[in-house]
């Protein structure tokens, strides 16, 4: 069993380069299924989810060639192959195969998605969208089977603002007959990234990034070249880690606008944040104020940063309250932080965090961002080595983590 070992207590110092966004990449890769010629994606992160997805595209009959941070996908020979088990179970975003295959082949059979299971993650809004477009959806021995003789545009109101459902409906509706309107759509930057790729492939999507997205279906889509946006969750994690260790770090290759919610909360605590065109500098301070944080849909504070933020709030003076309005039970990091000496209790959808010092311990990452929280916490510990297991979760979302932290002066290694 692989472990991440961290001897903390050193302020992080230096520059870190942020890779492309995982949550974009895992939607852009299946989007390529809709094209009839070669799609090139640049600035891809080197992550286990991305590797698994590129293998899935090959299993469907596509060809995939890697070159550095770029991938060239030729989807021409892809076929409609059922994917009930295996690789689709390894990642949450395999649900995007549903929308993409439905758009291209008029059918898809996909096993229920895997990924991080911090709490039940239903896909009823995705299914409601496919049905509105004219598809029949059935449960086939634990797989979702979706079939449509013809996809027809429709007006779809999402009952819950969902990133996954918004993207999945965009994928299928791009090839539907007529216009689709998604109301109460999610506005995350990754949705704009997917719409940008689809439009470069010939789709006609307007309004991505707002709560109303209009899609005029097209008959054919073609290849193109697209560069993935920077990963705002990785960037936010390094911002938080820099602040927690009272370091001085330049986080490069970011879109500062995407980081506004994190920037605002760090400044409220007393962290010095300097925004430049494509980078953000974090200068940590000796004392931080306790604050309240509410994780919400974009442009609110991202739920994916709620766990690492919990670790930072252990470094503030006083009592902070962190509430998650996207995933109300996303607190698997809390018992582990408690093992490190943190004083945190969970009440309903909130974690109540009392500032204090942490100590080294043996802890387990139960999901990706819970793992990021443990890394941030371990980096603050002065004395002793923290051992983190469950590294495979952390590897789902952090490109080059050990190397990046070492470049910033941290004493980190895998064992």
Ligand X SMILES: CC(=O)N[C@H]1[C@@H](OP(=O)(O)OP(=O)(O)OC[C@H]2O[C@@H](n3ccc(=O)[nH]c3=O)[C@H](O)[C@@H]2O)O[C@H](CO)[C@@H](O)[C@@H]1O
Ligand Y SMILES: C=C(OP(=O)(O)O)C(=O)O
Q: d(Cα 252, Cα 135) in Å, to the nearest integer?
A: 44
What DSSP line would sit under 226-240, residue for residue? EEPPB-HHHHHHHHH
Q: Counting contacts by CB under 6 A, is residue 325 touching ligand X?
A: no
User: Minimal distance in Å, beta carbon 93 to ligand X?
Assistant: 4
Chain-centroid distance of CA 332 in Å reads 17
Instruction: Choose from ligand X, ligand Y, none: what does 163 bind? Cβ within 5-8 Å by kind.
Output: ligand X
List 62, 99, 371, 397, residue binding ligand Y (CB under 6 A): 397
Instruction: Choose from ligand X, ligand Y, none: what does 165 bind? Cβ within 5-8 Å by kind.
Output: ligand X
Number of residues that bind ligand X (CB under 6 A): 20
User: Minimal distance in Å, beta carbon 234 to ligand Y?
Assistant: 10
Instruction: Choose from ligand X, ligand Y, none: what does 397 bind? Cβ within 5-8 Å by kind.
Output: ligand Y
Instruction: Choose from ligand Y, ligand X, none: what does 332 bind? Cβ within 5-8 Å by kind.
Output: none
Residue 224 annotated in active site: no
Residue 326 assigned as binding residue: yes
Residue 382 assigned as binding residue: no
Q: Which of 331, 330, 317, 311 has its CA nearest to residue 243?
A: 311
- Of the candidate spans 32-40, 87-95, 218-226, 384-392, the one that interacts with ligand Y by CB under 6 A turns out to be 87-95
Of residues 93, 116, 137, 233, which has the active-site annotation? 116
Instruction: Choose from ligand Y, ligand X, none: what does 245 bind? Cβ within 5-8 Å by kind.
Output: none
Q: Counting contacts by CB under 6 A, is residue 326 touching ligand X?
A: yes
Burial class (CB in 10 A: 0-12, 13-18, 19+), 142: exposed
Residue 257 assigned as binding residue: no
Q: How many CA atoms lie within 13 A of 307 on its CB side?
A: 28
Q: d(Cα 279, Cα 295) in Å, to the nearest integer?
A: 23
Helix, strand, coil shares of the chain, percent, nearest 5, are 35, 25, 40
Q: Counting contacts by CB under 6 A, is residue 386 touching ligand Y?
A: no
Among positions 147-206, residues that touch ligand X (CB under 6 A) are: 160, 162-165, 186
User: Minimal distance in Å, beta carbon 232 to ligand Y?
Assistant: 11
Q: d(Cα 103, Cα 97) in Å, to the nearest integer?
A: 10
Q: Which residues does residue 320 pair with via DSSP β-bridges, in sequence order?
A: 353
What DSSP line would sit under 284-326, residue for residue? --S--B--EEEE-STTSB-GGGHHHHHHHHTTSBSEEEEEESS
Among positions 299-318, residues that touch ligand X (CB under 6 A) are: 303-304
Which are the contacts of 335, defined by CB distance < 8 A and separation ≥ 6?
none
Q: Counting contacts by CB under 6 A, is residue 139 touching ligand X?
A: no
Strand 272-275 relative to strand 279-283: parallel, antiparallel, unpaired? antiparallel
Residue 3 assigned as binding residue: no
Q: d(Cα 16, Cα 39) in Å, to the nearest integer?
A: 29
Among positions 98-137, residues that touch ligand X (CB under 6 A) are: 121-126
- Of the candidate spans 40-48, 86-94, 188-196, 262-270, the one that interacts with ligand Y by CB under 6 A turns out to be 86-94
Angle at 318 between CA 313 and CA 324, to 5 degrees: 45
**Minimum CB distance to ligand Y smaller for 171 or for 218:** 171
Instruction: Choose from ligand Y, ligand X, none: what does 123 bind? Cβ within 5-8 Å by kind.
Output: ligand X
* Distance in Å from the first CA to the final CA of the chain: 8
**Minimum CB distance to ligand Y smaller for 20 or for 115:** 115
Check: CB of residue 217 under 8 Å from CB of residue 50. no
List 369, 380, 386, 408, residue binding ligand Y (CB under 6 A): 369
User: Minimal distance in Å, beta carbon 147 to ligand Y?
Assistant: 26
User: Minimal distance in Å, beta carbon 93 to ligand Y?
Assistant: 5
Check: CB of residue 94 under 8 Å from CB of residue 113. yes
Which are the contacts of 318, defined by CB distance < 8 A and separation ≥ 6?
289, 290, 354, 355
Residue 411 assigned as binding residue: no
Residues in the site for ligand Y, rule: CB under 6 A?
A: 23, 91-93, 115-116, 304, 368-369, 397
Binding-site positions for UDP-N-acetyl-alpha-D-glucosamine read 92, 121-125, 304, 326
Binding-site positions for phosphoenolpyruvate read 22-23
Residues in the site for ligand X, rule: CB under 6 A?
A: 23, 26, 92-93, 121-126, 160, 162-165, 186, 303-304, 326-327
Residues serving a catalytic function are 116
């Amino acid at each position: 069993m692989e472990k991440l070992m961290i001897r903390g207590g050193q302020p992080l110092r230096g520059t870190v380069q942020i890779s492309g966004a995982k949550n974009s990449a895992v939607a852009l890769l299946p989007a390529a299924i809709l094209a009839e010629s070669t799609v090139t994606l640049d600035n891809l992160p080197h992550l286990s989810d991305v590797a698994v997805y590129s293998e899935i595209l090959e299993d469907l009959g596509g060809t995939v060639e890697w070159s550095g941070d770029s991938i060239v996908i030729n989807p021409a020979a892809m076929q409609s192959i059922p994917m009930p088990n295996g690789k689709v179970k390894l990642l949450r975003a395999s649900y995007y195969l549903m929308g993409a295959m439905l758009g291209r082949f008029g059918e898809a059979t996909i096993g229920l998605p895997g990924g991080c299971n911090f709490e039940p993650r239903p896909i009823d809004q995705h299914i409601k969208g496919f049905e509105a477009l004219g598809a029949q959806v059935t449960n086939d021995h634990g797989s979702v089977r979706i079939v449509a003789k013809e996809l027809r545009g429709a007006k779809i109101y999402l009952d819950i603002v969902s990133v996954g459902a918004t993207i999945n409906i965009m994928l299928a509706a791009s090839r539907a007959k007529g216009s689709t309107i998604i109301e109460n759509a999610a506005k995350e930057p990754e949705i704009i990234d997917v719409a940008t790729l689809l439009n470069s492939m010939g789709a006609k999507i307007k309004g991505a990034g707002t709560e109303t997205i209009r899609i005029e279906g097209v008959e054919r889509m073609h290849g193109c070249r697209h560069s993935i946006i920077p990963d705002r969750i990785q960037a936010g994690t390094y911002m938080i880690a820099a602040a927690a260790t009272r370091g001085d770090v330049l986080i490069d290759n970011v879109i500062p606008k995407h980081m506004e919610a994190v920037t605002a909360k760090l400044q409220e605590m007393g962290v010095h944040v300097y925004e430049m065109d494509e980078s953000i500098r974090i200068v940590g301070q000796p004392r931080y104020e306790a604050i309240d944080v509410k994780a919400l849909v974009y442009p609110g504070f991202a739920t994916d940063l709620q766990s690492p933020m919990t670790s930072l709030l252990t470094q503030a003076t006083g009592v902070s309250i962190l509430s998650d309005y996207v995933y109300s039970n996303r607190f698997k990091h809390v018992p582990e932080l408690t093992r490190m000496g943190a004083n945190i209790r969970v009440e309903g959808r909130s974690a109540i965090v009392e500032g204090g010092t942490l100590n080294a311990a043996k802890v387990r990452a139960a999901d990706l961002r819970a793992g990021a929280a443990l890394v941030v916490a371990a980096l603050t510990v002065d004395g002793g080595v923290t051992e983190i297991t469950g590294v495979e979760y952390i590897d789902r979302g952090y490109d080059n983590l050990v190397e990046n932290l070492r470049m910033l002066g941290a004493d980190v290694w895998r064992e």
